[in-house]
Amino acid sequence: MKTEKPTNAIDKPLTCGLVMPISSLDGCSSEHWSEVKNIITEAIKGISEPPINVNLVSDADDVGVIQKRIVQNIYSSDIIVCDVSGKNPNVMFELGMRLAFDKPTVIVKDDKTDYSFDTGIIEHVPYPRDLRFSRIVTFKTNLAAKVLATIKAAASDPEHSTFLKNFGKFQVANLTESVIPADKLVLEMLSELQTEVSLLRRSIPRADIRRERNKHETYGLIRQEIEKFLFQHPDTKPEDLMGQRDFYSFMDNRLDAPQYFDSLGEFRETLDRILIEMRMRTEVSERTQIINPHSV
């Protein structure tokens, strides 16, 4: 006998966006928050019906501007689980956005974090900061039950509200969604990728940028400045300039050495290396003249 599929069965997994700290905060290391993430994920994935995929709201399969991705995931996730432990400013801001959208949200916090005034009216699912096994088992059971109850309440009641119903009727915030041609989508993605690359370049330390600079270009620029100096001081030879602090200072001011070198010592070593090369070339030229006085 064929069993009819319930009319309220869900064909594809629901999405659960996870909002929580990921780096060191309030005396807890990034490894601590990674463990908390695993605990929350295991609890939610333990729900068999409906199946739920869990990801941080900053995660995505495609390339895009991370802030845009976060806002989109905060809005579009079927349910959000937010860990307000430590009251990370970014977490609290993202929670505020989700509550403004008035979509299904579950808040959790550890037992060392106080309730916030504005969101204290929402039930929080607590867990022990020390992640003691026996109490974590209880937390995972309670969290799974709360998530499932929230999903069912939102599905059965069009007027379901996590937060705003406590204050009256409001126009709920929403994001405009539209279908765009494939070519326009590609251009937008390329533009976003270009923006991310630009931000990444700005975040690279100047030392790394200098190390990637073409050495031949840098040496050539320094050599030109030395040649100009020697031309202006015809009685001076390259070897006369080695170890001369006044000359080093002069070249430093001319070239703005910090643009090209990590330290003044590295800059001076490069100057000396070029001066030695110039002296050697001069000696080779002089010897050639002695051997073949008619050579050019």
Q: For the chain, what are the domain ranges? A: 14-194, 205-291
Q: Is the pLDDT of residue 56 over 80?
A: yes
Which residue stretches of 63-181 are H helix?
66-76, 89-101, 133-156
pLDDT of residue 32: 95
> How confident is the model over 96-136, as pLDDT tens digits?
888 888 899 999 999 999 988 777 778 899 999 999 999 99
> Between 13 and 62, where is the model more confident?
13
Task: Give the pLDDT confidence of 59-86 residue by residue, as tens digits.
Answer: 755 544 556 778 888 989 999 999 999 9
pLDDT-derived band at 6 (thresholds 50, 70, 90) equals very low
Q: 45 falls in which pLDDT band (50, 70, 90)? A: very high
Q: How confident is the model at residue 5 (pLDDT cuts 50, 70, 90)?
A: very low
pLDDT > 60? residue 212: no
Mean pLDDT of the chain: 79
For the segment 230-273, what is each residue's pLDDT rounded down to a tens digit?
Answer: 888 888 888 888 888 888 888 887 777 676 776 777 888 888 88
- In this prediction, residue 174 has a pLDDT band, given cuts at 50, 70 and 90, of low
For 144-172, the pLDDT digits (tens) are: 999 999 999 888 887 777 765 655 555 55
Which among 37, 188, 21 is positioned nearest to 90, based on CA atoms?
Answer: 21
Given a contact cutoff of 8 angstroms between Cβ atoms, the answer to whether 77 and 16 are in contact is yes
Q: How far apart are CA 48 and CA 13, in angstroms?
A: 10
User: Half-sphere exposure of residue 232, counting CA atoms within 13 Å on the CB side?
Assistant: 6
| pTM, rounded to two decimals | 0.55
| CA atoms of 72 and 100, how far apart (whole Å) | 14
Per the model's pLDDT, the better-predicted residue between 11 and 152 turns out to be 152
For the domain 14-194, what is the CATH code? 3.40.50.450
Residues 262/277, Cβ–Cβ less than 8 Å: no
